[in-house]
Amino acid sequence: EFKRICVGALKPVAFANDKGSRMGLAAFRGTAGAAHPEARGGTELLRLMKRIGVRYLRQHSGYSEEARRMGFTLWYHNQPNGADWNRYWKGEKTWMDEPKQRRGWLEGNLKTTQDLGAEAFEFANEWNLADGTENPTRAGRYVKDWLTQLRSARDEKYPQIRLGGCVVANADLPYLKVVHDEGGWPLFDDLVFHMSGMPRVADNPGREYWNVLRTLKDIRAVVREYGEKPLYLSEFYAPTAPNVLISMNERDAAADLAIQIALAFAADVKGLMYYCFDDFDRILPIKTAAELGEPTYRENYFGLVRRDWVPKATLWTFATAAELLDGATFLGDVELPGTEKSFGLLFRTLRGPVAFLWSRIDGYPQHELSRTNAAHLPPWQSTVGNCETFSAKASGERI
């Protein structure tokens, strides 16, 4: 019954660069007795986050005061929702068509940001996907109706709050171009984006839209062209949803997450907020894949831990990367002589040089190729294939 049990321990880590940490969480479901057993409340949740190197907390309702006291850096994120929101985009009359009411809503969110002690307000969420990728139908109204008023309200009443702007899913270049051309680029402080490569592995060299490596390269190109801004990755993922076609088993998710984090550090992303800390069911009963259909509720299973805090392998990926990249500066690619299918990134850190090394000797597989039964491989069985043994040199430093 118990031939394949994975057990691990999280050692205590003293992060030397606590306030300079780049690691964070986009969201978590911390209600005792719902998402977690009643014996584990908010304090235990935050302690575990600290132990794996989290600095940024993007959604922190109910934990803001304690999180600030423990040294977390808080972000606040919001946008309008509901029936009026849908009517607004259909061109029907709503309160959002009135500049004074929009202004009042935005000022209310800035006040909430201040009251929570958050350093930034991140407005909007993947509007670029509303009518399909690279079809920027909402970009103009984002600038004219919302971003202009948001910047004015911030400057007048809450100048200490940073504004996170665009919040695109991957590097949607047409959407970002419209934001720039409509005069929106100077109106926000930090360029915020989300990143997913599913079903491709993180370092796939192709130009498909859902591609982690392409996203990071294109985002860097955008800020070089339109004007430098700090980059924040407020959602990225290593999905482990059971019985879903576009997902990963836990072994592949752990490997993919390591490469995503290393690539984001190499691209000088200032904050990386993983979605989501824990799996959750919301108020819905647990159902089988046949009952749910696919891919319904896939995002409920992106967590580093399961609903009952049983950890996934990705928890150790996150914690190890946070420790190894504490205070990291990217130095460049690692030379791996004798192969064109092995790769590496070298960093200078507070603990010395660190390299992330990986192999694609078996090519660039997709995660969880479509199967008629939509069944996961077991968590100990990799779909990626064998890895090479590395012998690496870079910049004359011993690794």
Q: Strand pairing partners for 164?
A: 122, 190
Q: Tens digit of pLDDT for each residue in 344-375?
A: 999 999 889 999 999 888 888 887 655 545 55
How many whole angstroms separate alpha carbon 348 and alpha carbon 398? 12
Question: Could you tell me if 329 and 323 are in contact, meaning their C-beta atoms sit under 8 angstroms apart?
Answer: no
C-beta atoms surrounding 175 within 10 Å: 24
What token pair was written down for 72? Answer: 């977390």
Cis peptide before 295 (omega within 30 of 0): yes
What token pair was written down for 4? Answer: 């394949």
DSSP secondary structure string for all residues of 185-198 = GGG-SEEEEEE--T
What token pair was written down for 31? Answer: 């209600």
Q: Tens digit of pLDDT for each residue in 296-354?
A: 577 888 999 887 778 888 999 999 999 999 999 999 999 887 778 899 999 999 889 99
C-beta atoms surrounding 140 within 10 Å: 14
Question: What was the pLDDT predicted at 220?
Answer: 98
Count the residues in the chain.
Answer: 399
Cis peptide before 99 (omega within 30 of 0): no
Q: Strand pairing partners for 355?
A: 346
The C-alpha R_g of the chain, in whole angstroms, comes to: 21
Q: Which stretches in the chain have pLDDT values below 50?
A: 32-36, 38, 372, 386-390, 394-399
Question: Could you tell me if 374 and 289 are in contact, meaning their C-beta atoms sit under 8 angstroms apart?
Answer: yes
Question: What was the pLDDT predicted at 368?
Answer: 66
